[in-house]
Amino acid sequence: MESGIKQDTRNRLSTFWVPTGGVAEKSKKKDGNELLVRAGFIRQAYSGIFHLLPLGLRVQQKLENLIDKHMQSIGASKLSLSSLSSQELWKRSGRLNDDSEIFRFNDRKGASFLLAPTHEEEITALVGSLVKSYRDLPLRVYQITRKYRDEPRPRQGLLRGREFLMKDLYTFDYSAEKGLDTYNTVKEVYTRIFDDLRLPYLVAAADSGNMGGDLSHEFHFENPNGEDTVITCTNCSHAFNEEIADGRGPKVENRQEPEHSEPFGPSPPPAISTGEWVTISRDKSMLVRAYYPKYLFDEGISEPVERQINSHALQSVARAYGAELDLGVKNPLEAWKIQANCPEPGDRNLRVLDVYDFRVRPFDKPPLNELLDSETAERAKVQFRSLHCYPGTTDSLDLLRVASGDKCSRCGEGVLHPHTTIELGHTFHLGTRYSSALQANVAVDPTKLIGGKGPEGASSVLVPLEMGCHGIGVSRMISAVATMLADHKGLKWPQVIAPFSAVICFGKGFEQDAEQVYDALVSGQMSPIDAVLDDRSHTFPWKLKDADLIGFPVILVLGKQWRSSKLVEVQCRQLDNFKDDVPLNELPSVVSSLLAKL
């Protein structure tokens, strides 16, 4: 039996848990994570682990809806994989080792599991067990789920946590050509996702790291708190993460790598002084000393410019030499000396590798005496090598980080500029990196492959699946956007992911008027405005300040102008602090036009 009472479905802040004010101290620094706490979006539970409060959840849901829309536009199906994964599966792919930042555990029966930081292994095993024919391809599946990483130093709130929300799309094709077509399709849809946020972003060529594959791109926001450096050219479209630096410099013709140090390579530009950067191999057996120009005269600049070594370039050189560096050791020289001074060093193959940037003149003799006395060096059988070329090539070594104003190597005309950024999205073309390891194969008609022939008389051939992996950091995007747009008053959200698009602020005695304004915004519109009434019991001035802190795109004020002339004061901080008094009948179109610009 119906009661006859009409239910009030209006959005009201009194029905939301919005604990604004928070526990973070107010500071003048533009810190999005601090503001997310103060404005009642998140709270920290433990180191690197956060609770998402109702306002934060609304932002997350808006962002998920945006991603869903674009994933569906390319025929991707949404699923949800388990957060638990088998350690054995990760061992088969080669990604599980003692240094992996992964939460691991055994169940009561002794089976080994882990909390998944990503799902390449699981989705490959799943698809490999279900898809047997090329006719079932292409396949595109994605999820938006919590991931886990045993981060040794959680920091910057949601930007580097131990639990985080990710969107990962996995694509499967039967040939490399089809896989590359899919990669380009996904890269294009990523640009549309970021375009919808209406915020400036950078797309950069990137290093695939331990994900595998040889083609990847990253999507970045500029942010002074970022941990990445993206280099862009003023003339061409060249943009890249400095992590992809391989350490290769100009070619050196008709020279052989010397056994020990001697002047080598092209005539270097004048270096004011030589810097030394010391690190050590992961097994602690090899000490690496990199020599580079600490100051250089750049073209068109009269004063010398201080330069820094690019650790990624040095790591690339070391890997080509057959060593893996441990760049996190605080005192690498002392760690290496412990090995050398061991009474019985045995067959540890202790080495010293001096690596020279092509702009530095090498030393005439190996300077070992500054490391060890001659007796210890002889007993430990320390081997010395000086490296002046990229191993196996005639390329000299370029170990420097790009500095603003360097010439672009691609177009030769523009100059390069580094940007401190936050990575928010990453697209990978994985190829058969996982499908080969996990034996995820599919039967293909030979005529569908380049070459068009299989074994004589065969109607099909088995080939490993061609894969792509494409991620977006959902939780870190919330933090990155918050920091990017914040000002001294508080947060400022793009309308597409704002918790509410407009808030109606009013004092006592305006309750029915505020409901009239709300109804005008949400009814009779082709696209109803996502509005909310601030009907909390706080004072009117407090509500106005809180609206700025929370960061609603549009703030509607019922005050003196409404009482005297039935005009609503419309405020929009993001559009040059727009403020105007608008009659009720024009309010929906005015608010809609403002939101269309955000």
Tokens linked to 216? 């990847």
pTM as predicted: 0.85
Domain map (residue ranges) of the chain: 60-81+120-242+417-480, 248-252+268-400, 500-597
pLDDT tens, residue by residue, 474-494: 999 999 999 999 998 999 999
- Domain 500-597 belongs in CATH node 3.40.50.360: no
- Residues in CB range of 182: below 8 A, 6 or more apart: 138, 140, 171, 173, 468
Nearest to 430, CA basis, from 119, 80, 98:
119
pLDDT at residue 422 tops 70: yes
Distances (CA, A) of 310 to 30, 165, 440, 553: 29, 31, 38, 41
pLDDT tens, residue by residue, 246-267: 888 887 765 444 443 333 334 4
Residue listed under structure tokens 């490993």: 464
Q: Do 60-81+120-242+417-480 and 500-597 fold alike per CATH? A: no
pLDDT at residue 57 tops 90: yes
Which superfamily does CATH assign the domain made up of 60-81+120-242+417-480 to?
A: Bira Bifunctional Protein; Domain 2 (3.30.930.10)
- Residues in CB range of 528: below 8 A, 6 or more apart: 521, 522
The helix (H) or strand (E) run that includes residue 398 is none
Q: Tell me what the mean pLDDT of segment 321-350 comes to.
A: 80
pLDDT of residue 267: 44
pLDDT tens, residue by residue, 438-456: 999 999 988 888 766 656 6
